[in-house]
Structure 1
């Protein structure tokens, strides 16, 4: 009936295809019905959001969730975000940087094309992102990303800077790509890769915690630098540390505290399986977590960066120039952390 008048608060049920229109705008070659997440997937992804403003979204990505594949797939972060994290925007957020599928931690997305463009420049080369505006440049210089990793062994020096270019090679099957130190490959084509590291504590049961600060953004940079430059592969990294894992004697499951002889009590979050993915597991998950991110408050500066006026003070708000985020570790790394910390009591 075309002349009917709806009552207030009446629900309207529309076909799924209408809700999927946001997806089809971004992935025309892919049938939209294969990409639209269900209500549980949307709720799950929104629970990962640590921070949201008009320009960015910051998430704490769990391990094993792919960020982006060669094609938009149903369970990739990029595809799901288009529907689950668009909120009141017509377009979904865009990736600013990437994390490996097996790693976890802070993932930054730009909510607009403008914010994503500035942040992508910032993560590619800080000098490219700079302008004539000093406050923005100072905020760019403060940008950093720090990871925590559990490695097998311990570096000779407690802290240092790894400057080791990387190159990519194809393995014998002609399909699998592997990243390695350039000087070991004999190939001229390489990319500059620089990582600062710091040992966070003593070596316990053959493992050490490291803080890693990449100055460049190369594929598998931290994993290769840890395994090949430092000789301490990350726990759970079977791609670059397979031979070390074969010889590695994992953390023993003991009932007696080795230092005091007292009954051993493992401090761990309630309800977590001791074995699952931690150093106690037969097959540990990758222990690499993007823990901290410092970056310019792009929502504050965006209006200034797009303005042609020289009077920047007229456009600035009183909000902080820099934002800082810290993401909690996934459960398997928390268990490993608590287990190793218990030996220090």
Structure 2
């Protein structure tokens, strides 16, 4: 389950030039594979009509041989030098002119493959080595000699082409109502719970797929971008009560892979030798605690690590967030819904269907399966539009020290509003 982050930022493209096919970005790479390559599941990755489907990247080699040698001489096995050995880093190294957004999209859509050499014993004369391809994830570690393959028929405009067919008035009006702020540089949205931010396999609608609908016929396509955020304030309802009313959580996070080999989760790093460790800082403050065993927290992430708030709440504070079944699974095994007070407005209890398959209503602490109770309440960022205007001016010296800060506040989603009222009413 992904974090519900209602306040999102879009950055408009500087120019409205037509998107280029990926072939133009890959023109300088090694030759395209001329033969038919089967997928790992036995299906043919191409055909007579599509023999040049795959572009072969150079075999992976450590980017810094000297650093590898030094790491091995220190006795750490070269782990320090292999931090750049992920699949996405190698693609970016080999394809420096491919936009980062396009590279990430290729991985999300499972379009990046890796060679898998198998022995074909069907022939009675000799054993034949056959090249097969299997999907590779962005953060998969490569070993020297691994070869990655990119499709040559993926265009950056594919998302835009899909959304051009989109024209339901109710859905368009729904998207426009999500806008909190809009100027020449950015669009700030109040993302509804349940709508993914990024598209991928099995995801029909997401914020980045629907982004062109926020431009009202403009040829400029907005794109996701939260790099300029100065500060975020989250509100969360957690199970239990922290020992201290406020503090700073400094707990590095590490990725672990579960036994099935596919799913993964983050955990607080137990030692310095754990791979993929990232520092993570979170400031927190207790808003209010309730005798039913719940606490409302205010969370200020000082770093932007994946699932940082969820892991810190569950593993450091010992108070998992309500509705977080990934990091708070044990706390939800014996979940008991709170009774619904008679004083609750009946209108808040009605469930209504929204566009894109979303539902309004339900998911509070009175439900058997509550939704995730984590909400980005406030976002502060610099006035990017004013900064861009300064850059366009003739003045050679640009001073951004006194640049105005923009603050945006998003209301709590309905299920969190309802939980707040329930907790205030129960026990009175």
What TM-score, normalized by structure 1, do the two folds share? 0.69
Q: Please point out which of 405, 412, 415 is paired with 1:329.
A: 412
Question: For 2:219 and 2:328, how far apart are their aligned partners in 1?
Answer: 44
SS state at 1:57 partner = strand
Distance 1:31 1:326, change over 3 A: closer
Give unmatched runs, 5+ long, in structure 2.
1-16, 22-154, 352-360
**Which whole-Å deviations, capped at 9, do the CAs of 1:99-141 have from their partners, x for residues lacking one?**
xxxxxxxxxxxxxxxxxxxxx2x34xxxxxxxxxxxxxxxxxx
Q: Corresponding residue for 1:189?
A: 276
* 1:48 CA drift (Å): 0.6
Aligned length: 269
**Which whole-Å deviations, capped at 9, do the CAs of 1:56-89 have from their partners, x for residues lacking one?**
101101111000033695301101112x112353
Q: Corresponding residue for 2:292?
A: 205
The answer to whether structure 1 residue 53 and structure 2 residue 131 are counterparts is no
Question: For 1:45 and 1:24, how far apart are their aligned partners in 2?
Answer: 28
Q: Corresponding residue for 1:87?
A: 216
Structure showing greater radius of gyration is: 2
Q: Please point out which of 221, 227, 234 is paired with 1:147.
A: 234
Q: Please point out which of 235, 239, 262 is paired with 1:175.
A: 262
SS state at 1:168 partner = strand
1:23 touches 1:36 (CA, 8 Å); kept in 2? Answer: no
SS state at 1:200 partner = strand
Q: Corresponding residue for 1:96?
A: 225
Give unmatched runs, 5+ long, in structure 1.
1-20, 98-119, 124-142, 255-263
* 1:342 CA drift (Å): 2.8
Question: For 1:238 and 1:71, how far apart are their aligned partners in 2?
Answer: 22
Question: For 1:31 and 1:295, how far apart are their aligned partners in 2?
Answer: 28
Match runs of 1:235-314 below 5 Å: 235-253=322-340, 265-266=343-344, 268=345, 270-273=347-350, 276-305=362-391, 309-312=395-398
Question: For 1:36 and 1:185, how far apart are their aligned partners in 2?
Answer: 51
Question: For 1:56 and 1:33, how far apart are their aligned partners in 2?
Answer: 23
Q: Please point out which of 251, 254, 263 is paired with 1:164.
A: 251
**Which whole-Å deviations, capped at 9, do the CAs of 1:15-49 have from their partners, x for residues lacking one?**
xxxxxx98999744569347743323222111111
Question: For 2:331 and 2:302, how far apart are their aligned partners in 1?
Answer: 27
Q: Corresponding residue for 1:75?
A: 205
More strand by share: 2
SS state at 1:270 partner = helix
2:255 touches 2:275 (CA, 8 Å); kept in 1? Answer: no
Question: For 1:201 and 1:332, how far apart are their aligned partners in 2?
Answer: 18
Q: Please point out which of 195, 209, 234 is paired with 1:65.
A: 195
1:72 touches 1:79 (CA, 8 Å); kept in 2? Answer: no
* 1:167 CA drift (Å): 1.3
1:35 touches 1:80 (CA, 8 Å); kept in 2? Answer: no
The answer to whether structure 1 residue 341 and structure 2 residue 419 are counterparts is no
Question: For 1:86 and 1:29, how far apart are their aligned partners in 2?
Answer: 17
2:179 touches 2:187 (CA, 8 Å); kept in 1? Answer: yes
1:236 touches 1:284 (CA, 8 Å); kept in 2? Answer: yes
Instruction: Note the aligned Cα RMSD (angstroms).
Output: 3.2
**Which whole-Å deviations, capped at 9, do the CAs of 1:315-342 have from their partners, x for residues lacking one?**
99xx981111110111111100111223
